[in-house]
């Protein structure tokens, strides 16, 4: 019997940087899952190369630079004829979905949402206005675009079960169009036997790409509010001076300007090995006040045996009802108190470490998740036509969106060609 799937094309919003962001790690995990099945993986992106991008060539992934609003993509995808096309975030589906459908209509169209952008945007808006998010915040243009892309796709991979609930209950997305696929991590044999001990660790750590708005807000929150409170608690309990090490890709000047050795607030910037810096810290700090999806920095903390102090936003869809591997505090005073308490209490620290390891083993086991993902993809391939017939809203949205996007894209392409002829140099 012929294989159902042999070739997968991932259309990347950016080139993946697994050491810079959870999104980059997520795409890399998908690639590894697909390759494990013996599928040929191709990765195409219109984004510019970056200094921290993963070496896809070395991974055995065929790469292709593509253009926006250019018919060269049509020829590329027509010649490739992939069995599955994965759109990295909804904007990739908006740009290339109609071209994929036109050139290889039998290909299964899969959206990898990374996180629900409209939820993150709504929470950010409410945070800027110093209020709780309201239902009206979700009725945004971004929500209209993102949910439409989910309906147009044959299947969407959702990293957060909370976001699946939001999509089905608020936006009436059929659950059959969604598949819960969190981080897929190597947890086989995961325990604390080969991890640095409590005594061998020192300092606090916070890590996250500075270009991601929730991370930058967390750094400012630490600098302006939480770290001074932690220092006060450390002094009150006459503990040795501890430092806070801030790591993350692409630190702007406004971030490096926060560096202050006297206060122990050290902006380290890019970490060559994020696991090394997290596993050698005693406490991981992530005071996230808005965002969506699930948090790579907290998953890394679990794998490294490093307890995390975070917020309710931070732990969303990351516990499955299990005790958290650290402390959850939304109030800055409670956050600081919890951080210092866990920093000095070895017994509580060890208990938190075990809780984090237990969550990682139960939620993020890549062997189980690989099997579930490949099964649902192959099932969707087999039932592709029935699924499309049962998704009338998706068909309607594809008809109207793809026609308008096609005409706009072709108009832009013609305009660009005319400009090139008029200005050949």
In which residue are the tokens 């950016």 written? 14
Output the pTM of the full model: 0.92
Give the pLDDT confidence score for residue 267 in this predicted structure. Answer: 97
- Residue pLDDT, tens place only, 339-397: 999 999 999 999 999 999 999 999 999 999 999 999 999 999 999 999 999 999 999 99
The CATH class given to the 204-361 domain equals: alpha beta
Q: Is the pLDDT reported for residue 424 higher than 60?
A: yes
- Spatial contact of 11 and 87, defined as CB atoms under 8 Å apart: yes
Distance between CA 49 and CA 20 in Å, rounded? 14
Q: Which residues are CB-neighbours of 407 under 8 A, at least 6 positions away?
A: none
Q: What is the DSSP string of 358-411?
A: HHHHHH-BHHHHHHHHHHHHHHHHHTHHHHHHT-HHHHHHHHHHHHHHHHHHHH
Q: Is the pLDDT reported for residue 218 higher than 80?
A: yes
Cα-only R_g, the chain:
23
Phi and psi at residue 392, in whole multiples of 5°?
-65, -40
In which residue are the tokens 């090490």 written? 245
Give the pLDDT confidence score for residue 389 in this predicted structure. Answer: 95
Q: Say which CATH architecture domain 7-184+366-422 belongs to.
A: 3-Layer(aba) Sandwich (3.40)
Distance between CA 336 and CA 341 in Å, rounded? 9
Distance between CA 211 and CA 235 in Å, rounded? 33
Q: What is the rounded average pLDDT of the residues 161-187? A: 97
Are 7-184+366-422 and 204-361 equal in CATH topology? yes
Give the pLDDT confidence score for residue 1 in this predicted structure. Answer: 36
Residue ranges of the domains in the chain?
7-184+366-422, 204-361
Q: Is the pLDDT reported for residue 2 higher than 60?
A: no
Choose between 248 and 3: higher pLDDT.
248
Distance between CA 208 and CA 211 in Å, rounded? 9
Q: What is the DSSP string of 309-363?
A: EE-HHHHTTS-TTSPPSEEE-SSHHHHHHHHHHHHH-HHHHHHHHHHHHHHHHHH
Give the pLDDT confidence score for residue 314 in this predicted structure. Answer: 98
Nearest CA among 376, 398, 382, 383 for reference residue 101: 398
Give the pLDDT confidence score for residue 405 in this predicted structure. Answer: 65
To the nearest whole percent, how much of the chain has pLDDT over 70? 94
Give the pLDDT confidence score for residue 191 in this predicted structure. Answer: 85
| Chain centre distance of CA 254 | 24
Q: Which residues are CB-neighbours of 296 under 8 A, at least 6 positions away?
A: 21, 22, 25, 26, 183
Nearest CA among 112, 131, 230 for reference residue 178: 112
Which run of H or of E encompasses 285? Answer: strand 283-286
């Amino acid at each position: 019997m012929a294989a159902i799937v042999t070739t997968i094309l991932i259309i990347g919003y950016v080139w993946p940087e697994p050491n810079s962001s959870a999104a980059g790690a997520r795409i890399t995990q998908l690639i590894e899952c697909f390759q494990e099945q013996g599928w040929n993986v191709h990765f195409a992106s219109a984004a510019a190369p970056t200094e921290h991008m993963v070496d896809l060539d070395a991974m055995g992934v065929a790469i292709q630079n593509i253009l926006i609003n250019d018919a060269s993509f049509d020829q590329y995808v027509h010649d490739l004829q992939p069995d599955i096309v994965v759109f990295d975030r909804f904007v990739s589906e908006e740009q290339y979905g109609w071209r994929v459908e036109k050139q290889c209509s039998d290909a299964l169209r899969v959206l990898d949402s990374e996180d629900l952008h409209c939820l993150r945007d709504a929470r950010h808006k409410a945070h800027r206005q110093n209020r709780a998010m309201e239902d009206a915040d979700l009725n945004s243009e971004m929500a209209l675009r993102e949910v439409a892309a989910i309906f147009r796709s044959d299947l969407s991979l959702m990293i957060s079960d909370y976001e699946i609930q939001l999509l089905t209950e608020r936006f009436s997305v059929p659950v059959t169009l969604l598949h819960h696929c969190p981080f897929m991590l190597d947890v086989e044999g995961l325990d604390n036997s080969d991890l640095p001990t409590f005594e061998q660790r020192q300092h606090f750590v916070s890590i996250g790409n500075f270009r991601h708005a929730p991370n930058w807000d967390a750094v400012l929150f630490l600098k302006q509010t939480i770290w001074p409170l932690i220092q006060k608690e450390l002094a009150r309990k006459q503990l040795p001076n501890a430092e806070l090490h801030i790591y993350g890709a692409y630190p702007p000047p406004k971030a490096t300007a926060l560096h202050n050795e006297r206060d122990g607030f050290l902006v380290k910037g890019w970490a060559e090995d994020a696991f090394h810096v997290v596993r050698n810290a005693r406490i991981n700090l992530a005071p996230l006040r808005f965002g969506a999806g699930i948090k790579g920095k907290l998953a890394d903390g679990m794998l490294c045996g490093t307890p995390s102090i975070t917020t309710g936003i931070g732990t969303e869809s990351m516990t499955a009802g299990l005790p958290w591997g650290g402390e959850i505090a939304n109030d800055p005073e409670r956050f600081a108190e919890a951080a210092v308490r866990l920093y000095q209490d070895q017994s509580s620290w060890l208990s938190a470490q075990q809780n984090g390891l237990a969550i990682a083993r139960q939620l993020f086991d890549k062997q189980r998740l690989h099997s579930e993902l490949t099964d649902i993809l192959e099932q969707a391939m087999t039932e592709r036509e029935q699924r499309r017939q049962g998704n009338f809203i998706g068909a309607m949205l594809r008809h109207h969106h793809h026609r308008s996007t096609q005409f706009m894209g072709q108009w832009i392409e013609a305009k660009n060609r005319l400009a090139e002829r008029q200005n050949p140099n």
